[in-house]
């Protein structure tokens, strides 16, 4: 992820095809998203080259296809690392929007206070599973007749930086390098399930996109979005920004269980997942 450099339930009306005057009601279900977090946790840590990693890839693909999305794996290699990014696609039209979240979990809980636990893998309930859960609930909720091109990007090999033989954000770098064309917007969600959710504006993110999303959250009265800057993150939005693509990182980096063995299901809240998912649902309808 993440080298830090210091420095309610709403009903949303979606317009159909432009000028068609049709509408479809949609609602983001935080409880259903929380069930997706649990499903991932039941697989075990989704660390690279593990049975759980294979299982979560198959599960994400099946979930996307069940929701009516076209889904595929985009493979890449970097050194000895085999990367499997997953892309779900739906809709067509003038705008092209990518929503992304990493699905791998970290090999080592090296931030744990207990030295004995620092060699354990991170369970990844918030750091990994929460973002995946938001994307999958959006897959079930977004209209089938989108008047824009939306891609849901499940990113591999994100979270092992500062471990010998690994780098941060390897999956998003590989995906961005393979892109043909230029998306209008990329939105990354990362660590957004914390029961004590506080999402500040991330310093590298595109200001216009950040304004749009935070203003949407304010209209929906989600106080989890705080309209102040706090961090500049090396996260999955960076490879897109480096290629001149407008991108934003929605992240709560004040998560006390980051890269510890305590990043478990009990730390994640359905209401936090709903705050992020509903905000993106409305923002997408208006974009």
Q: Which of 54, 58, 63 shows the shortest CA–CA distance to 88?
A: 63
DSSP 242-285: TTT--EEEEE----TTTTSTT--GGGB-HHHHHHHHHHHHHHHH
Residue 2 lies in a domain: no
Strand partners, 248: 187
Query: Per-residue pLDDT tens for 152-183?
Result: 999 999 999 999 999 999 999 999 999 999 99
Claim: this prediction has a pTM higher than 0.85: yes
Radius of gyration of the chain (CA): 17
The pLDDT of residue 121 is 98
Angle at 247 between CA 244 and CA 60, to 5 degrees: 120
Question: Considering the domain boundaries, does residue 111 fall inside one?
Answer: yes
For position 240, which CATH number holds? 3.40.630.10
The answer to whether position 165 is within a domain reads: yes
Residues 36, 137: Cα–Cα separation, whole Å:
8
Task: Look at residue 140 and tell me if it is in a domain.
Answer: yes
With contact defined as beta carbons under 8 Å apart, do 103 and 47 qualify?
Answer: no
In-domain check, residue 215: yes
Task: With a cut of 60, say whether residue 6 has pLDDT above it.
Answer: no
**Total domains present in the chain:** 1
Q: Which domain holds residue 113?
A: 10-286
4 is a domain residue: no
Pairing between β-strand 23-26 and β-strand 12-15 as defined by DSSP bridges = antiparallel
For the segment 16-58, what is each residue's pLDDT rounded down to a tens digit? 333 332 334 568 999 999 999 999 999 999 999 999 999 999 9
């Amino acid at each position: 992820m993440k080298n830090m450099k210091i420095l309610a339930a709403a009903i949303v009306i979606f317009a159909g095809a432009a000028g068609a005057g049709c509408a479809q009601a949609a609602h983001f279900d935080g409880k259903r998203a929380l069930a997706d977090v649990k499903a991932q946790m039941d697989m075990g840590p989704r660390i690279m080259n593990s049975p759980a990693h294979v299982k979560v890839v198959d599960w994400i693909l099946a979930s996307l296809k069940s929701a009516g999305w076209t889904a595929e794996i985009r493979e890449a290699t970097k050194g000895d690392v085999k990367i499997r990014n997953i892309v779900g696609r739906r809709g067509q039209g003038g705008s092209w929007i990518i929503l992304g979240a990493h699905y791998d979990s970290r090999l080592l809980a090296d931030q744990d206070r207990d030295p004995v636990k620092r060699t354990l893998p991170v369970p990844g309930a918030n750091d990994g599973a929460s973002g995946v859960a938001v994307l999958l609930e959006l897959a079930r909720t977004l209209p089938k007749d989108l008047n824009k091109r939306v891609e849901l990007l499940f990113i591999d090999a994100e979270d092992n930086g500062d471990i010998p033989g690994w780098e941060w954000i390897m999956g998003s770098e590989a995906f961005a390098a393979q892109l043909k064309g230029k998306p209008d917007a990329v939105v990354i969600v990362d660590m957004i399930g914390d029961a004590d959710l506080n999402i500040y504006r991330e310093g590298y993110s595109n200001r216009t996109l950040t304004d749009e999303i935070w203003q949407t959250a304010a209209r929906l009265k989600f106080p989890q979005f705080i309209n102040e800057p706090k961090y500049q993150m090396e996260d999955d939005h960076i490879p897109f920004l480096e290629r001149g693509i407008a991108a934003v990182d929605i992240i709560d980096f004040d998560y006390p269980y980051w890269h510890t063995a305590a990043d478990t299901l009990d730390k994640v809240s359905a209401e936090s997942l709903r705050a992020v998912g509903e905000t993106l649902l409305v923002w997408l309808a208006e974009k």
